[in-house]
Amino acid sequence: MPVTRNSLEESICRQSVELLNTHLAASIDLKGQVKHAHWNIEGPAFFGLHTLLDLVASVVDAFTDQLAERVRVLGGAAEGTIQSATSRSFLLPYPKQVDDEAKHVFVICGALATFGESVRGAAARAAQIGDAGTADLFVEILRNIDQQLWLVGSHSPPKA
């Protein structure tokens, strides 16, 4: 890794860069999944969901940029290609045969929840290794993911 003027030890930077790149890959995948649902959603709530999913994608895009920039701040290389995202993402692939809005909402809620759970763990890990800045970024992302999950989940059918 290139030398930076960051005061963190190189071993901490390396561990944080690994955490950040893992989540960078998953965030690129997450945005792709959200846009896929945005483009393919149909049904009575089409307009509301179509608009909401576009907003969710823009929120995900904003923190994707923050993840990549934090990697660079720590002296790492941001691994932001589609190929890297495909090989590193921990999200389940989007099912090919999703044909109604309730299923799209279910899949996107699952992806948001999985991403949020992993980000929660990454925040704890970053704090544990002594990188408060990366931990703070992950906490900020978690708050955003929780909100997006709440918004999209509000379109789920009521539970019996």
pLDDT per residue rounded down to tens, the chain (160 residues): 656 677 899 999 999 999 999 999 999 999 999 999 999 999 898 999 999 999 999 999 999 999 999 999 999 999 999 999 999 999 999 999 888 899 999 999 999 999 999 999 999 999 999 999 999 999 999 999 999 999 999 998 766 5
Ramachandran quadrant class, 35 (left: phi over 0; alpha: psi -120 to 50; beta: rest) = alpha
Domains and CATH numbers, the chain: 10-153 (1.20.1260.10)
pLDDT score at 153: 96
Closest CA to 27 of 138, 158, 115: 115
Q: In the prediction, which pLDDT does 103 show?
A: 94
pLDDT of residue 158: 65
Residue 157 DSSP symbol: P
What is the pTM for the complete model shown? 0.94
Contact 101, 50 (CB under 8 A): no
Token pair recorded at residue 12: 């901490």
